[in-house]
Structure 1
Amino acid sequence: MEGLSKLGAEVTYLSNSYDHYKFSTVKVSFWKLWTEDKYNHKYKGKYIRLKTPSYKGKKGRLLNMLINAALVLLYGIYSFLKREKFDVIIGPSVPTFTSFSGILISKILKVPFCFELRDIWPDALVEIGLIKKNTFIFAIMKRMELFILNNLDSVFSTLPYAKRYVDNYISKFSFYYLPNGVDFESHEHSINNIAVSFPSGLSSFCYVGGFGADHDIKTMIKAAIILEEKGYQFIFDLYGEGLKYDELKKFLSDKYKFIRLFPAVKRQETISLIAQYDFAIAAITNSKSYRHGINLNKLTSYMFSAKPIVFASSAPNNPIIEAGSGFTCLAEDPENLSKNIIKMFNTSKLQREKFGNSGYSYLINNLSMKSLSKKMYQALIEVIKNH
């Protein structure tokens, strides 16, 4: 939103009431369905917080998504009745319900619709085991997705190979690859409220991210246990939240002293936290959901911290190889992952710094929010003109 606003666009952004930056819920008055969040008032446009419920578990998440989609549609109708004008509507693939509301609004307002394709829902949900294909919820979401694909004007995707998927359903559309960018200005204001303590003389590495079905926490834990069994002494810290958090906490208990589990940290604290470790680690499952490519926020955070990275992935693109910022191996192979961690243990301080600097340079040259915002702004102008 900020990047487009700085270029002169007047953006209305609809979001849940939960603020992921502050780990808090923006209060919406009892008699209102949404409220305008004032902290973004230095930019043109509106930042609307929808009155969505907090949730735990799959059923709570589903209810949250359905209410979000309903409120998005209501806001669109409200805007139409107030005769507010929008030049284009952008809707996310996650969740599908919200994008379905978005494309209905575009039909009502007779403006183009851009599909922001981050994950291939609902197929990806089946592939990572969250839902089954022969269920009512899958059938509904698939029908919504097909309607969206057959009525969109353009696709913006963080996945480099997503066009091949959309080509199966529609022939006439514009496609723009726009990976998640890094706002260097906002990171300048990152804060350092967390001081990590380490036993003297031990190597340390961390994982900072989600504990969802597609994050391969199991392989990282197994690799760490293999290292410990081989006699290596180290500290492996994990920070995050998600479906696997409680399960992981129970598994680790006091059994593995060298593996420490912490809750998620605020985004503005992430960079300074990672910077305190020798290197960072990430792993994803060998899921079909990654066949269109990956674009993980945690990797950009690692690179911004100028830390070397050990990464396990079998996706068709590999940002760590592209950036030259560390070691990689195939997904779901704890033995090979442990070998790559050992390689990083044995890598000189100078080479680790080179890895870290290469990752940081890669961000500047390829993932600057400023340059990506310009690309998106020009793309939106083209979409509006061609509608």
Structure 2
Amino acid sequence: MRILLITQWFEPEPTLKGLMFAKELQRLGHEVEVLTGFPNYPGGKLYSGYRMRPFQHEVLEGVPVLRVPLYPSHDQSGVRRALNYGSFAVSAAVAGLLLRRPDVAYVYHPPATVGLPALVLNALKGVPFVYDIQDLWPDTLAATGMLEQQAILNAVGGWMDRVYRRAAGIAVLSPGFKERLIGRGVPERKITVIPNWTPENEIVLPEPDADRARELGFEGRFNVVFAGTMGKAQALDTVLDAADQLRGDPHPRFVMIGGGVEVDRLQASARARGLSNVDFLPRRPPSQIGEILALADALLVHLKDDPLFEITIPSKTQAYMLAGKPILMGVRGDAARLVEEAGAGLTFAPQDAEALARAVRELAALPPERLADLGEAGQRYYHQHLSLREGVRRFAEVLERASVGGTAYLPFKRLLDVTLSLAALTVLGVPLLGLAMVIRSRLGSPVMFRQQRPGRHGQPFTIYKFRSMTDERGPDGVLLPDARRLTPFGQFLRSSSLDELPGLINILRGEMSIVGPRPLAMEYLRYYTEEQMLRHAVRPGITGLAQISGRNYLPFSRRLELDVEYVRTLSLWTDLKILLRTVGVVFSKQDVSRGESVAIVDDIGLGRGLHENFFKE
């Protein structure tokens, strides 16, 4: 499988889904190429050894990388940040079209603008993509205060919804992210939870060094280490408040190591309060943090008490687990559940200094062997569920599924759909209006049948068809069986496929194609196997391989098999053969059933008489 990684940040910049990710995909036998920008993160300055140019090809440890120009910036200016994100998106969109077509693209988010090159590749070269979400935009932008203008937040939300609709698959790092996306209308089957791993090659814990421990003040204390960014989201005043409550305890000590906008203020506050049990160490690169983790007795994770963070698993959690030290987790929701499931430490309510102080005292009172058990449990859980190899293996499966149905023919297929449907509506516009009037007089109003159906990647849409049944009811006011309401005129509409003609509107809207698997009822989705779900890898069609192979008399399981076969063999030649055979089937009225079987099998009757074993033929 040929995979294109689209990410604004890549080595030598600090990034999680970077070179390790690419090399592990290569180890699994895949061909990988990277599309990224010139390195400037996090300082906003171009790295030494690089100069901005239109394109730069390089190979990093066997991984081919194409770098494209961008506006280097990463400060507090919203305008400059937007230029940074936007310039990469435009450059990558252009460069992606010049690359050899991949089977599938992997897209790392944030920023949201990285969706642009993915959408361009999808529209112009038919490349399916998997969207890996690390931050929920616009939720994160609002929660962190990066953006406050509601109009802009709404625009970002609309953009994200468009990206989600077009993505063949979506990866999220926690169950809470998945639930949030489902609430926004993203089909559940499109979303896969794959927790982040940590840069395993950088977490190296040296043997304990008594002299070094004494030098850094670790000797004779119970050292709780916070390592990482100290910003507003971390709400680390809680740590200072807890330290204040622990003044009388001789052993607990907080060690704060890292950088961030809050470091200076926190240091000044600790000095002003005379907190001798809080020490700040200068920021270190990840490759040198192992020494501090090795000396720690417990490792602290903390975020402010915000609903958004209940669905977040801070990246340092995995590093702490791999380090094999007990964890103090001050984050609600998914992160707390992870630590509890692993048996790797204690959880406490965020921004609750008393709860943190109590948890520190509880850990400090445990014997060394019990602390070691907690650390080993976390380490074991990491290797079983969160490791690089496990995560990349699952990503490879998602990418493999997403690649099915992707072909360079798709953009041309879409062009044909638009051209032919426009021509058909132009020629048939007046006759269709006349037919609509006849339908209203003979079958009633409304003339159109509308129903939610799953489109490409399972995304719901409203299908349009001419109605073919009356609204006749019995004495009790209940609709009569479908066979009673299907009049000879309605049967003629179905056998001639005239009832399908309003589907041309769905084609123009990009929801359907002329040829493709028929869109069935939404409630059927829960019955599909993974193999059968592949029928949704392409746009559904008005006609398809199943429709020319037996129509209503074809066993349902066989219809699904033919739909998957169509997706796997998609080509212009396949579509032309299906269209030619469709003409013959329609004019011969071949394999069109009447009566109760129509209520169960025909598309209009879906969902009104489905028995339990219908999908078990």
The TM-score bracket by the shorter chain reads 0.7 to 0.9
Secondary structure of 1:120's aligned partner: coil
User: 1:348: Cα distance to partner?
Assistant: 0.7
Specify which of 258, 282, 286 is matched with residue 277 of structure 2.
258
C-alpha contact (below 8 Å) 1:122/1:138 kept by paired residues:
yes
Q: Distance in 1 between matches of 2:204 and 2:23?
A: 15
Match of 1:25 in 2: 47
Q: Which runs of 5+ in 1 are unaligned?
A: none
Question: For residue 118 of structure 1, what is the amino acid of its counterpart?
Answer: Q
Partner of 2:101: 85
Paired position in structure 1 for 2:324:
306
TM-score (structure 1 length as normaliser): 0.86
**Alpha-carbon distance in structure 1 between the residues aligned to 2:204 and 2:325:** 19
What does 1:1-387 correspond to in 2, within 5 Å? 1-13=22-34, 14-15=36-37, 17-18=39-40, 25-30=47-52, 32-33=53-54, 35-36=56-57, 38=59, 40-43=60-63, 45-46=64-65, 48=67, 51-56=70-75, 58-59=76-77, 63-64=80-81, 66-80=83-97, 82-134=98-150, 136-167=151-182, 168-171=184-187, 174-182=190-198, 184=200, 186-187=201-202, 195=212, 197-198=216-217, 200-228=219-247, 230-253=248-271, 255-291=274-310, 293-318=311-336, 319-386=338-405, 387=537
CA change 1:246–1:143 in 2 (3 A) is: farther
Query: What amino acid is the match of 2:47?
Result: T
| Structure 2 counterpart SS, 1:107 | helix
Distance 2:270 2:54 in 1: 42
Contact 2:174–2:193 at 8 Å: present in 1 too? yes
Comparing 377-386 and 69-78, the one that deviates more: 69-78
SS in 1 for 2:195: coil
Alpha-carbon distance, 1:354 to partner = 0.5
Cα distance in 1 between the residues matched to 2:387 and 2:163 = 30
Paired AA for residue 178 in structure 1: I
Deviation at 1:278, TM superposition (A): 1.5
Are the equivalent residues in 2 in contact too, given 1:182–1:363 (CA < 8 A)? no
Unpaired stretches in structure 2, ≥5 consecutive residues: 1-21, 406-536, 538-617
Please identify the structure whose Cα radius of gyration is greater.
Answer: 2
Displacement of 1:157: 0.8
Structure 2 CA distance for partners of 1:214 and 1:100, relative to 1, 3 Å: farther
RMSD: 2.8
Over residues 82-127 of structure 1, what are the superposed CA-to-partner deviations in whole Å (9 max), with x where a residue is unaligned? 3521222232332112234433333233211222112211112212
Query: 1: CA distance between counterparts of 2:363 and 2:187?
Result: 46
Asked if 2 retains the 8 angstrom alpha-carbon contact of 1:69 and 1:101, the reply is no
The verdict on how the C-alpha distance between 1:188 and 1:345 changes in structure 2, with shifts beyond 3 A counting, is closer
Change over 3 Å in CA distance of 1:317–1:311 after alignment to 2: closer
Q: What TM-score do the two structures reach when normalised by structure 2? A: 0.56
State the 4+ residue runs in structure 1 displaced beyond 6 angstroms: 188-192
Distance 2:263 2:142 in 1: 21
Letter in 1 for 2:258: G
Higher helix share: 2
Q: Secondary structure at the match of 1:275?
A: helix
- The size of the alignment, in residue pairs, is 374
- The whole-number CA distance in structure 2 between the counterparts of 1:182 and 1:198 is 28
1:253 positional shift: 3.8
Identity %: 16
Per-residue CA distance 1:222-279 (angstroms, 9 max, x = gap): 1112111x34444311112223223323323463232122333211122332111221
